[in-house]
């Protein structure tokens, strides 16, 4: 029966029903108080639900029953690291390595602990070992991340470019940490959402205070339309002192999508204080102004962006939208045409088509307005000739004879003017 409760607990934990999972593990342990795996899994459920102390307590019980339970030592090390109990976390991770010498995550975690205690050379050695093991396991991304940690810790004057040749393999240049995160965002944009999120979750599991990782996960969530999750991650990035313009810029974009226009403007203002030469920030703030109906303020920001980057198609396109709202249609057409030319040169066909659709909409509106005006003139002329359109047609034909090559609207207007003049005599 205890196994049945245990399996039910595992299923609920997979569904992130941690309270339900804990209850099932409780039943399993009532049936079998010596069930070490149930203690370990209940500890994970406690930890994932935010009850870190209870999690550590259960990991300890699991270890008492099975002193070789690597997973329990490792989980307890992570929990203790989160509580900043570095000495105890180090004891646990040393035990993991003693039991399983090829545990890449354990070396990585020990490197983090050594770095936090200021023992830099030992941190570097542990990150090297972790990277070597990750490489052997064909986990290229975590290998690169470890090597980037090494590069950050090495003194600048003796720092050498790190490649996989550090570990007696083929020489492949490493991306920087920033490029690593950019690569994950690109994965998400190409549809590899699960892989990108898994890497970021892993990074945060290793160092739960990595503000840059929170920022990156927030950007990925935003790009996937998970706005509330994105807000939570970006807020966490700021709590852990990653006060970079990219955080405020993306949080501003999220708030704009959620309808918090003033909050978005506030975030863009903060981002501009940090990075005043970023033209994209002016475009973003311009979009926020436009959403509030402040079209002239939006146009000023788009102008500023275009002063910084005269080939910013996005700024032209958005300025065109603002111009349509204030009925500056010719300016809107000019902006759309400029944007379409830039997108065409870049072969950005989706954006190119979007701009063409906006241009066609303006042209269609112009045609509709022209047609409506012509229809009104025809009705007016028809009333003036007593409802007999044959008379109107004869007068129009006479006007065409004397003034060839003009538009239909011009001829109708000409006939109306002459009739009004004759009647005014």
Point out the domain boundary residue: 247, 269, 291: 269
Say yes or no: 264 and 282 in one domain.
Answer: no
Answer yes or no: is 4 within a domain.
no
Say yes or no: 369 and 400 in one domain.
Answer: no
Whether the predicted pLDDT of 252 surpasses 80: yes
Answer yes or no: is 403 within a domain.
yes
- Residue 226's domain comprises 175-269
Q: How confident is the model over 352-362, as pLDDT tens digits?
A: 888 888 888 77
C-alpha 13/C-alpha 104 separation (Å) is: 25
C-alpha 219/C-alpha 211 separation (Å) is: 12
Whether the predicted pLDDT of 332 surpasses 60: yes
C-alpha 239/C-alpha 72 separation (Å) is: 29
Answer yes or no: is 239 within a domain.
yes
Say yes or no: 179 and 197 in one domain.
Answer: yes
Say yes or no: 361 and 402 in one domain.
Answer: no
Confidence band of 186 (pLDDT split at 50, 70, 90): low
Cβ 278 vs Cβ 301: under 8 Å:
no
Answer yes or no: is 18 within a domain.
no
Cβ 55 vs Cβ 36: under 8 Å:
no
Q: Which long-range contacts (CB under 8 A, 24 or more apart) does 55-58 make?
A: 55/79, 56/80, 56/83
Q: How confident is the model over 298-326, as pLDDT tens digits?
A: 999 999 999 999 999 999 999 989 888 88
Confidence band of 424 (pLDDT split at 50, 70, 90): low
Point out the domain boundary residue: 210, 240, 269: 269
Helix, coil or strand: residue 173: strand
Q: How many domains are contained in the chain?
A: 3
Instruction: Decide: residue 250, CB within 10 A, 0-12 exposed, 13-18 middle, 19+ buried.
Output: buried
Q: How many residues does the chain have?
A: 425
Please tell me whether the overall predicted TM-score, pTM, comes out greater than 0.85 for this model.
no
C-alpha 272/C-alpha 279 separation (Å) is: 9
Say yes or no: 265 and 179 in one domain.
Answer: yes
Whether the predicted pLDDT of 50 surpasses 70: yes
Give DSSP secondary structure letters for 361-397.
HHHHHHHHHHHHHHHHHHHHHHHHTTT-HHHHHHHHH
Say yes or no: 251 and 218 in one domain.
Answer: yes
Q: What pLDDT sits at residue 396?
A: 87
Point out the domain boundary residue: 212, 242, 269: 269
Cβ 321 vs Cβ 290: under 8 Å:
yes
Say yes or no: 235 and 309 in one domain.
Answer: no
Answer yes or no: is 52 within a domain.
no
Residues contacting 366, CB < 8 A, separation 6+ = 329
Say yes or no: 262 and 238 in one domain.
Answer: yes
Whether the predicted pLDDT of 136 surpasses 70: yes
Query: Which one, of 125, 133, 63, 60, lies nearest residue 100 by Cα?
Result: 133
C-alpha 210/C-alpha 281 separation (Å) is: 25
Say yes or no: 353 and 299 in one domain.
Answer: yes
Q: How far is CA 337 from CA 93, 283, 313, 390, in A?
A: 62, 18, 10, 44
């Amino acid at each position: 029966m205890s196994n049945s409760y245990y399996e039910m607990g595992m299923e609920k934990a997979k569904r992130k029903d941690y309270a339900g999972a804990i209850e099932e593990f409780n039943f399993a342990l009532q049936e079998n108080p010596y069930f070490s795996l149930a203690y370990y899994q209940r500890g994970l459920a406690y930890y994932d639900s935010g009850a870190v102390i209870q999690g550590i307590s259960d990991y300890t019980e699991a270890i008492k029953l099975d002193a070789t339970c690597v997973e329990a030592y490792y989980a307890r090390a992570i929990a203790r690291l989160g509580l900043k109990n570095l000495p105890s976390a180090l004891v646990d991770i040393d035990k993991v390595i003693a039991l399983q010498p090829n545990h890449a995550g354990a070396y990585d975690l020990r490197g983090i602990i050594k770095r936090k205690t200021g023992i830099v050379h030992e941190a570097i050695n542990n990150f090297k070992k972790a990277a070597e093991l990750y490489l052997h396991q064909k986990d290229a991304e975590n290998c690169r991340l470890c090597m980037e940690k090494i590069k950050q810790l090495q003194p600048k004057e003796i720092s050498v470019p790190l490649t996989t040749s550090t570990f007696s393999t083929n020489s492949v240049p490493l991306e920087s940490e920033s490029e690593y995160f950019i690569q994950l965002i690109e994965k998400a944009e190409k549809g590899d959402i699960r892989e990108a999120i898994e890497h970021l979750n892993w990074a945060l599991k290793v160092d739960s205070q990595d503000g840059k990782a929170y920022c990156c996960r927030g950007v990925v969530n935003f790009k996937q339309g998970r706005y509330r999750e994105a807000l939570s991650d970006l807020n966490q990035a700021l709590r852990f002192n990653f006060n970079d313009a990219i955080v405020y810029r993306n949080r501003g974009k999220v708030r704009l999508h959620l309808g918090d226009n003033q909050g978005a403007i506030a975030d863009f203002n903060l981002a501009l204080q940090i990075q005043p030469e970023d033209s994209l920030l002016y475009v973003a703030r311009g979009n926020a102004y436009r959403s509030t109906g402040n079209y002239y303020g939006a146009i000023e920001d788009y102008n500023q962006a275009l002063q910084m980057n005269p080939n910013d198609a996005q700024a032209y396109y958005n300025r065109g939208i603002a111009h349509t709202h204030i009925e500056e249609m010719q300016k809107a057409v000019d902006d759309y045409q400029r944007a379409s030319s830039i997108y065409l040169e870049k072969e950005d066909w989706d954006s190119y088509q979007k701009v063409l659709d906006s241009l066609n909409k303006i042209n269609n509106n112009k045609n509709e307005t022209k047609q409506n005006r012509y229809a009104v003139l025809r009705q007016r002329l028809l009333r003036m000739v007593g409802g007999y359109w044959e008379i109107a047609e004869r007068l129009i034909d006479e006007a065409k004879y004397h003034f060839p090559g003009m538009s239909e609207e011009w001829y109708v207007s000409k006939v109306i003017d002459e009739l009004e003049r004759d009647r005014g005599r």
